[in-house]
Structure 1
């Protein structure tokens, strides 16, 4: 795909160039592999929004909490772990976990298989390239390509792994099918354990989050952030929050940052660890006891691609008429509701109406 990055304002047709890129099905990995030295114009972000230019510059003086889940079910150790996860979810909204029970071989094979998928020749990989959000298996570049003001430097493989009726295991690319299924199985078990700890931290029954439907909808994402020749002009993924509970596995190429106050903190890859973050739904039902925190990924300046594998554990099983908001058992005269009720269609409309950006649904339902 030929892109004239030097075109003048009068000649520049952004939508035309975006469509050419999308229809080429080459993704940013294809652009990177082609040896380009400057990125297409629609990837360039306004200077004031770039990590290297805004006031939220990265700091390396601190790090997100690290939790050890060993002896999780020990009557002696469990209360301490509950306190630690409550503190992490309250103050950071992000934490890493070790001794989580997923074998190292599964972690390694998951990263290897997703790397192998993204390294496939264009003619093989492009067979899976499509835009059919909220359904099945999809390989694409920039989920919000046509909704965002500027594209970001990453490609993704997306697979809905739950609910049962959305499972499409036979459609998962063969190069990573077995590994995606195994990762989903193990990551779901970790998420279930974390949901129990988070519920107990709020003084609720351990199964409360499962009862609410948090284990009913799962989405797998395998991101690739290839080398970017101009990492100071774009980002890997823009600042945003997630919806439910995210369990993340990453290779050893850094780039993930978490917003803490007015600063951005690097999440340094830790071999064998998983990174977990609290989403907007959990902030809302906990009435802001737990925090959903903005995070972003820098454009990759390393020749080695950054690979990240995620399971999003979102609320499922809702009816269109179901309303959702702070749990009544967490409210009192001293702690009134901070958010109004909302429905599934309202959330989906809010999410899909614009590009990935900020704390969309939280801001929309906050009571003033």
Structure 2
């Protein structure tokens, strides 16, 4: 089997969610309401937690075994001691927060277009917009790698340090991703250099998410249930508000993020490449009634025409 991953298509224009939330709405449009989530079962088992993997100990057989179990049984784990400097992460978070605080017209200078998925706005592609349910979030989507696919017109110039912080952050995450891919390959019994070469030359897309507070938070979703089409995703919270939920045994389980840790999830490509041994797990995002939530997701895709290995 071969894979061919491209960012394609733009986004249809819909009302800005952050602007809607700023009006202190008591009721939101029916386009955002998901009645079925009222019946979803959310786990209240506080002892249920995803694995925490210490990257500084992955030369140890025991920690490598923990990584294998996390990928096989959960498809998610939190990565600590990953080597990305606190300063690099901190500056990226600050720049993201400052960008979303800008007036709408300034953010829209980097807005999505009908023929391109990059930029600021929402991710709406269906032509049946009136019937489509909408997610309670705004996003800024940018391609980081390869350089040939970058479209600089969508990269914010305000805050002034955004572009520099973005480049340092994304390059640091590439290094983390490559090391993880090599370890995953070893755990799967395949050649680490071969698998990592597919991802080194692949695509890195960064989606920065802003989930405004919502008076009807229990009826809307910041991200609908899904699994991602990439190989690996590295996500970090830009503030301390929870929201990510994983589906396990037909229940939704809330991830409690560790400060400074990356939440890593196995995605569809690695599930396929591992012949199903590693799992791409369905997940979603809930929103908070009183607090905004911000996160940064780095999606890593193999190069085009990559084949399954195991």
Fold agreement, TM-score > 0.5: yes
Evaluate the alpha carbon distance shift between residue 121 and residue 63 of structure 1 in structure 2; reply closer, same or farther with a 3 A threshold.
same
Deviation by residue 1:297-319 (Cα, 9 ceiling, x = unmatched) = 0022233x10110110012233x
Aligned residues: CA RMSD? 2.2
Contact 1:161 1:168 in 2 (8 A): no
> In structure 2, what is the Cα distance between the partners aligned to 1:267 and 1:133?
35
Contact 2:92 2:169 in 1 (8 A): yes
Residue number in structure 2 paired with 1:270: 258
> In structure 2, what is the Cα distance between the partners aligned to 1:32 and 1:186?
34
- Structure 1 unaligned residues grouped into runs of 5+: 1-17, 331-368
Taking structure 1 as the reference length, the TM-score comes to 0.74
Contact 2:287 2:293 in 1 (8 A): no
Q: Alignment partner for residue 112 of structure 2, among 107, 130, 135?
A: 130
Residue number in structure 1 paired with 2:39: 53
Three-state SS of the structure 2 residue aligned to 1:292 is: coil
Evaluate the alpha carbon distance shift between residue 58 and residue 189 of structure 1 in structure 2; reply closer, same or farther with a 3 A threshold.
same
Matched pairs, number = 292
Deviation by residue 1:184-240 (Cα, 9 ceiling, x = unmatched) = 111111111110110010011222322334651110110000111111221110010
Residue number in structure 1 paired with 2:67: 85
> In structure 1, what is the Cα distance between the partners aligned to 2:49 and 2:295?
19
| 1:118 aligned onto 2:100 | yes
Instruction: Report the alpha carbon displacement of residue 89 of structure 1 after superposing the two structures with TM.
Output: 0.3
Deviation by residue 1:124-178 (Cα, 9 ceiling, x = unmatched) = 111122235665x411123446567310101100001112211234641022222
- Structure 2 unaligned residues grouped into runs of 5+: 1-10
Evaluate the alpha carbon distance shift between residue 247 and residue 133 of structure 1 in structure 2; reply closer, same or farther with a 3 A threshold.
farther
> In structure 1, what is the Cα distance between the partners aligned to 2:153 and 2:109?
14
Residue number in structure 2 paired with 1:107: 89
Evaluate the alpha carbon distance shift between residue 86 and residue 53 of structure 1 in structure 2; reply closer, same or farther with a 3 A threshold.
same
Contact 2:42 2:251 in 1 (8 A): yes
Evaluate the alpha carbon distance shift between residue 191 and residue 255 of structure 1 in structure 2; reply closer, same or farther with a 3 A threshold.
same
Taking structure 2 as the reference length, the TM-score comes to 0.87
Three-state SS of the structure 2 residue aligned to 1:70 is: helix
